Amino acid sequence: MLLTALAYQLLIFAGGVAALASSTGAMTNKFADIAMDRFQWYLIWNNLDVLVKAYLPLALAFAVVIHPVVKYYLRNKPRVTRWAIIWRTLALSAVITSFFTLRLVHTRPWLLAGLHSDHWYFRVRDAIPLSFQSFLSILFLQAAPVLALFSLLVHYGQAALRHYLPHWPQGARLATSTMGVTGLSLVAWAVPAWHYRVHEQARTDKRPNILILASDSLRADRLSCNGYDKPTSPNIDALAAKSVNFRKCFTPIASTVESLTSMMSSQYPHTHGLQHMFPNREQVTKVNEKSPALARVLRDQGYDTAVMGDWCAGVFDVMPMGFEKVQATTFDNFKVYMSQAVYLAHPVMPLYYDNPLGYFLFPKLECSAFFVTPEVVTERVVDRLAVQSRSQKPFFWTVFYSCTHIPYTTQEKFSAPFTDPNYQGPHRHQFQFNVDQWIGSVDMANKWRAMPPEDVAQINGLYDGCVRKFDDCVRQVLDQLKATGQLENTIILITGDHGDDLFEPNTTFGHGLSFNGGDQNSNIPAIFYVPELKDQPATVAKVVRSIDFAPTLLDLAGMGPDPRMEGTSLMPYLKDPKADLGLTFFGETSYLFCKRYIPGETPRGYDKPMDSTTQIDENFDCHFVLKDEYQNLVLETKERVIRTERWKLVFTPGQRYDIVRLYDLPNDPHCERDVKFHYPEVFAALKEHLWKWMRDKKESRIQEIFPHGEPVSLPPA
């Protein structure tokens, strides 16, 4: 029976290995070649690790579970053949596998996030009446596991009593084993409940909790509380109605690693040293050791500090920046990507993720983008809030989601209200983003420029659905804060790291690539919920920056900022929305994935794609790092920007000459018309202070740029 169960698992294992070989062989980028060339033994070892830790224990568990059933079924057979045992074992193995697969679908519905209503599973499911589905769910998916486990324990308890106490009657052994299992179950239930009741105490530290809820690539202009005409964010809207909402908040660099580093350190990229998304060990070490960190300041003052997130939060795994606990993926680790490919190929692996045993056996599961989903992150936050409600310490947590990150995949219930049900193109369920082309070409922007309008509309609708998904995650966290009594002592910041270009005029797709074409990839949400100010909600239209978050939160917590921080506390705006700090937005672009396109101009760039300009550093945990020969070129080809409430000046290095353009934002929000010759004084003033920022690393305020007040633009003729 054990051999049959083992053979069954080995058959599934072989199928997983074949699936991995097929998917790897279909990839065409240089990193796939590296995986098969330099890391072939690592892939083999990962498969063997899965075989030993996942499949073999399952074979043993199947044999233990199946043994009493088969033995009972064949108890009256005069002659039992080997084949009778084998086919029954195989049949029961298939039944158990199906049961746990269905149970996973029931308890983890986001496993089906990649499937949609036209999939056969949903057609079969929808053919069953809902009342009968509920009955089956309760009977087989909830009651059956408990009854089956109870029966197995009683069975093996009787076997043990039969061995050690053979003179006892059958009824006595049955009664004893049943009472023993029942008693142990009651103890297992009662001890944790007693522990929480005994140790629960009222919190005496009244300092506010601080919670940042953010989603990667979240545009400020796609929240309905910021004027968007579609209902993408009802729960965030409700919170914003009790908050101070900064509609013109900008990140100094629209790329995750650099942006989050600036947010948490309150420093510009040129100060903390991360100016592209592929830093090397020396650059990362400099940030960890020398940059100020919001979490470090709060941790030193007794706060519980933690990061929870999915794969987009991987930056904190490399750069914890003072956070004591980081529960997120490993950022840009090539070995993690290869392990993830192995795990995805083996159908038994979902049984092991998001549970302590699975993470103990396979630590890299906790780093997997496919297994650690936004739903998993939300569950972790909700569970941790329940525990934290009994703590004596205030907390500072950052929760960072991948909800709005490419390829804009979410459940149909979120995307359907924003997409065309009659759309039959390639982007029905997600943006069909070809990773091989993205990392192996710098000409993708030109290909996307020819995208049909119906595809553009569909992709935008999918993005809106992803915003709605993030909004639902926020709802669940807010509900738990209310349920645990922590909401009225928790400062909440709703934000993002950057936005995305979504085929607006003069753009195609991406972020951190250009400032010519609008603010959508650098304008992020900034909604501050402060409990004592909930009756004084406000909307602030002044320019602020993400580097201002850390000083503001420290101010709200009653602490002063680290003197090395370059941001400004926004407390004056929180107290008086009509205040004016005169802040100006300065920014730079990140690594240039695609060639820039500016009508009538020739921007400077580089012709080598990502898989040629980066390398896998085996001495830096197999992270992707920018090759040394491209470090200066990336810096030299960056765009820089200075932006006030009305004006935006963009500097773009050109192949023949520098390109400097002035945009009149009230009349040209998508930055389509250069007006530097119409407003020469505005152009000269902004250019002088942008050059000062680039040269001296010192920002200027509005009063320094325009001593007599910011000039008002005129409507176009």
Q: Choose from 126-135, 159-168, 326-335, 450-459 the range with maximum mean pLDDT.
A: 450-459
Among 398, 407, 378, which residue's Cα sits nearest to residue 466? Answer: 407
What value does the mean pLDDT take over residues 20-35? 62
Q: 163, 173 in Cβ contact below 8 A?
A: no
Determine which of 103-117, 479-493, 567-581 has the lowest per-residue pLDDT on average.
103-117
Residue 619: band (very low, low, confident or very high) from pLDDT cuts 50, 70, 90: confident
Is pLDDT above 60 for 26?
A: no
What pLDDT shows up at residue 198?
47
Q: Distance of CA 458 to CAs 92, 124, 271, 417, 717, Å?
A: 45, 27, 40, 11, 35
Can you tell me whether residue 496 is helix, strand or coil? strand
Q: What is the pLDDT averaged over residues 553-570?
A: 95
Q: Let me know the angle formed at the C-alpha of 658 by 655 and 662, rounded to the nearest 5 degrees.
A: 135
Cβ atoms within 10 A of the Cβ of 180, count?
15
Which pLDDT value is given to residue 387?
A: 94
249-263: per-residue pLDDT in tens?
999 999 999 999 999
Q: What is the 3-state secondary structure (H, E, C) of 505-549?
A: CCCCEECCCCCCCCCCCCEECEEEECHHHCCCCEEEEEEEEHHHH
Alpha carbon distance 349, 364 (integer Å): 12
Q: Given CA atoms 214, 219, 223, 225 in this order, what sign does their dihedral have?
A: positive
Q: Which of 121-135, 177-191, 268-282, 419-433 has the lowest mean pLDDT?
A: 121-135
Count of positions (residues) in the chain? 717
Half-sphere CA count of 369, side-chain side, radius 13 A: 19
Select the highest-mean-pLDDT range: 104-118, 456-470, 505-519: 456-470
Query: How far apart are the C-alpha atoms of 61 and 59, rounded to whole Å?
Result: 5
Q: Which of 313-322, 462-471, 563-572, 696-705 has the lowest mean pLDDT?
A: 313-322
In this structure, of 115-124, 296-305, 449-458, the range with the lowest mean pLDDT score is 115-124
Rounded CA gap, 596 and 508, in Å? 10
pTM of the model: 0.82
Q: Which residue has the tokens 């013109």?
A: 248
Q: What is the CA radius of gyration of the chain?
A: 29
Q: DSSP states of 245-310 as a string?
A: EEEEEE-SS-SHHHHHHHHHHT--HHHHS--SS---HHHHHHHHHHS--HHHHHHHTT-EEEEEES
pLDDT on residue 367: 62
Sole residue written with tokens 């503001």: 552
Which stretch of 153-157, 252-256, 259-263, 573-577 has the lowest confidence by average pLDDT? 153-157
Do residues 331 and 279 make contact, with C-beta atoms less than 8 angstroms apart? Answer: no
Higher pLDDT, 608 or 716: 608
Q: Of 15-29, 127-141, 543-557, which range is least confident? A: 127-141
Amino acid at 455: D
What is the distance between the alpha carbons of residues 247 and 521, in angstroms, rounded to a whole number?
Answer: 14
Quick check: 142 pLDDT over 70? Answer: no
DSSP-derived pairing of the beta strands 395-401 and 304-309:
parallel
Pinpoint the residues of the chain covered by CATH 3.40.720.10. Answer: 210-301+397-576
- pLDDT band, very low/low/confident/very high, at 220 (cuts 50, 70, 90): very high
Cα within 13 Å of Cα(565), Cβ side = 28
pLDDT tens digits, residue range 332-365? 566 676 777 787 788 887 777 767 787 788 777 7
Highest mean pLDDT among 129-133, 380-384, 429-433, 591-595: 380-384
The residue ranking higher by pLDDT, 602 or 491, is 491
Percent of the chain clearing pLDDT 90 (strictly above):
51
pLDDT recorded at residue 671: 94
Q: Does residue 299 surpass a pLDDT of 80? A: yes
Count of C-beta atoms within a 10 Å radius of residue 106:
15
Q: How far apart are CA 259 and CA 606, in angstroms?
A: 23
Please give the Cα distance from 499 to 521 (Å, whole number).
4
* Model pLDDT, residue 261: 96
Cβ contacts of 552 within 8 Å, gap of 6 or more: 528, 567, 569, 570, 571, 574
Average of per-residue pLDDT across 59-65: 81
Q: Which two tokens stand for residue 336?
A: 């993690």
- On average, the pLDDT of the chain sits at 86
Tell me: domain 210-301+397-576, CATH 3.40.720.10, correct?
yes
Local structure of 199: helix, strand or coil: helix
